[in-house]
Chain A
C-alpha cells in the first residue's frame, strides 16, 4: 500500500508539450509510471512519443479524463496560467492535482483555494513542489508512480513516509533512507508557497492511516504555522514514530518594513518555535540535516 498514488495510477500531464513538462513526462515514463494522457490546448489529436510509448494529447482535461480514465495530474503550465490549469483538473473530477509550477502569484492561489473549498473529490498538492513518488518494486524503484520532478532512482520501496516543503531537502532525506537500505511507502513534497493545497497535517493523517507506513519523516521550514499544527495533532493522535527537521535556524528574520506579519503569526513560524513544538509532541528532531534518517531509525 501507499498513500495518494499507487504504481498503477493513471496520470495525465498538463503542459506536456512545454520543455519542462516534456522532460519530466519522459522521466516518468522511463520510471514506469502510467502516463496516459497529455493536455495542451490547441494540440489535441497529436501524440507525445517517448521510449516506444505513444501518449495522446487532448485540448481539455475533461476530454483526457473521459478518454483515458486518468485520475491524477501533474501541472507544468507557466505561472500566469497555472491557477486555471489547477481548477480545470478539479472540474474534470480528478482525485489528485499536483501543481509543480513555481512562481504562481499568491492572489491566484488564494482564489484557487477558495474555489476548492468544500470540494471533497479533488486534492491539490503544491504548488511549487517536487511532487509525489510511490516507489516501485523494480531496480532503482522502477515501476512506481512518479508525478513531478523528483529523481526516481533515489527511492526504494518500503515503509517510511516522507513529507516536506522543500524539494532537494526531500531528496536528501530519501537518499539517506535508501543508502541505509530503508525504503519508502510514499514521498510527498507539499511545496514551499504561503498558500498550498495540502498541508503537513493532511499528509501525516494519511500516513497514520496507511498500514504500510511504519514511520514518518516530516521536513519543515521557517514561516507559517503548518508544522506546529501537525505537531499538535501528532502528539494526540499519531501512533507511528515521527522524526523531523526544520530548515532556517540561521535565516535572517527578514528585512521587513512592517509589523503586520509578526502580529498575525503571534510568535509562531520561527525555527525555534517549530523545533519546540516538535519536541513537545515527541517528534524526534534531527539536529542537522545529515541526521534525518538516523533520527527516525533510532526511534523504530
Chain B
C-alpha cells in the first residue's frame, strides 16, 4: 500500500507482472522468464540462451526501487546482475533467491527476494522515460516522456523541466494516434522506430486506463539492438501500481497481490477493515476517521514523541474492531503507550468505551492508555471507562490527551 492521501490506497505489483499486463496491451517487452525457485532458474536461462542471447540478466523482484545498487544482507552486491553464461546466472540466482535485499527504498529491514526475473541481455542504444498517471490539477490522465531515461528522473524534472514532455489525454476519447505521434517525436524516434514507438506508447496508455492503474512507469524505455543488428523499442523496466478501489473488477490483477511484500500487521488489520500502517515511533494511536488519525499523529509529534502507527477504525467501528485494533497495536514491540482518540459523531461513545474495556481486559494491557472520547453519548462512555476499575487516563481534548500519553510514557 502507498500512503498517498488519507483515504486513497494503491496496490503494487512486481516488474514481471507489470510486463505481463503491458504485453497484453501490445507493449513490446524483452524475452523474460520469472523463476520462483532455483530449479526453475537453469531451464529459464537455457531458454534465453537458446533464443540467441549471449548474456542473461538476473533481476530480483521486490516492490522497491534501487535494486541494481542494492546490497544483500549476506554482503552480496547488486540485486540486478548480468551473467555471461548459464552457470554464472545460476550462481547469481543462488546468492539472491531467499536472501534479503536492502535498497535505498526498502529501509534497513530490506525485502526477501522470492522471485527472480531472467531476461535476455539487451544491447541498449538509447534510454527514455515514459509514465502515465492522473494529473490531479485537472483530473485528466497525463503521459510524461523524456529523452533522459535510466537516470534519476526527479532530478531531471527539477533541473531541466524542459526535458520532460507532457501530454494530457481526454478521457472521453482516450489517447489519439496523433498524441502518441507527438510523444514519439518528442523522444526523437525516426522511421521504423517511430512507428514502433507510437504503438508502444498507445499500449502503455491503454494499460493504465484498462487496468485502473494509478501509475505506469517505464524507466528505461529503451532502443535496443537485436541479434540481427536491427533496432527496436522495448519496455526494459516497468513499474505499475493500481487503484485499490478498482480491484473488485480486476480479479486477474488482484491475484498478483504479493502478501510477502506487505507488513504482516497491515494484512491482519485489513481482515478487520482497519486501515493500519506501521510507523517507527513509540506511541500507538487508535482513531476514527483518516483525517483525524493523521491529525492525531501530528499532535503526538508536536508534543515531542513519535507515532507508532496510523490506525483508522472507520466511521462505524464495532466492539470487535476495537478489540482487533488493540491486539494489532500491541504486536508492535516498540509501542510504549496508547492514545485512543474518538470523535463519535454518529457512533455511540459508550459502544467504543465498552470495546476498549473489553480489549484491555482481554489483552491484559500493562502500558499507559489515554482515551479521549467526544460526541454522541459521551457521558455514558466516560462513565463506563471510569467504573471499569482499569487504569485508563482520560483526556479532555486532543491536545490534553496527547500531552498526557507523552508524559505517561516518559515516566
Interface positions of A (Cβ within 8 A of B): 27, 79-80, 102-111, 113-115, 128, 149-151, 153-154, 164-172, 175, 192-195, 219, 221-226, 245, 247-266, 271, 287-291
Contacts and interface: CB of A to CB of B under 8 A. Distances in A.
A225 B157 contact: no
B343 A27 contact: no
A287 B7 CA distance: 23
A35 to B, nearest CB: 17
Given A194-B5, A221-B294, A288 B302 contact: yes
Given A175-B374, A222-B5, 11 more contacts: A105-B212, A110-B140, A151-B345, A222-B6, A226-B136, A256-B241, A257-B64, A257-B105, A257-B239, A258-B65, A259-B153
B243 A107 contact: yes
17 contacts: A105-B249, A108-B246, A110-B141, A115-B172, A151-B345, A168-B315, A170-B291, A192-B6, A223-B4, A252-B277, A253-B3, A258-B241, A259-B152, A260-B133, A288-B402, A290-B299, A290-B400
Contact of B345 (A154, A255, A258, A291): A154
A263 B144 contact: yes
Interface in B318-373: 343, 345-346
Given A247-B291, A264-B144, A175 B246 contact: no
B217 A254 contact: no
Q: How many interface residues does chain B have, given as a range?
A: 35 or more
B6 A247 contact: yes
A155 to B, nearest CB: 11
Q: Is the interface of B mostly helix, strand, loop or mixed?
A: mixed
A234 to B, nearest CB: 18
Contact of B291 (A103, A154, A169): A169
Given A151-B345, A168-B343, A258-B217, A289 B398 contact: yes
Nearest to A189: B291
Nearest to A263: B157
Contacts of A110: 134, 139-141, 171
Interface in B113-140: 131-137, 139-140
Give the one of A115, A222, A253 with max B CB within 10 A.
A222
Contacts of A224: 5, 136-137
A292 to B, nearest CB: 9
A79 to B, nearest CB: 7
B307 interface: yes
Contacts of A171: 343, 345, 375
Given A149-B315, A193-B7, A289-B398, A258 B215 contact: yes
Contact of A252 (B105, B279, B299): B279
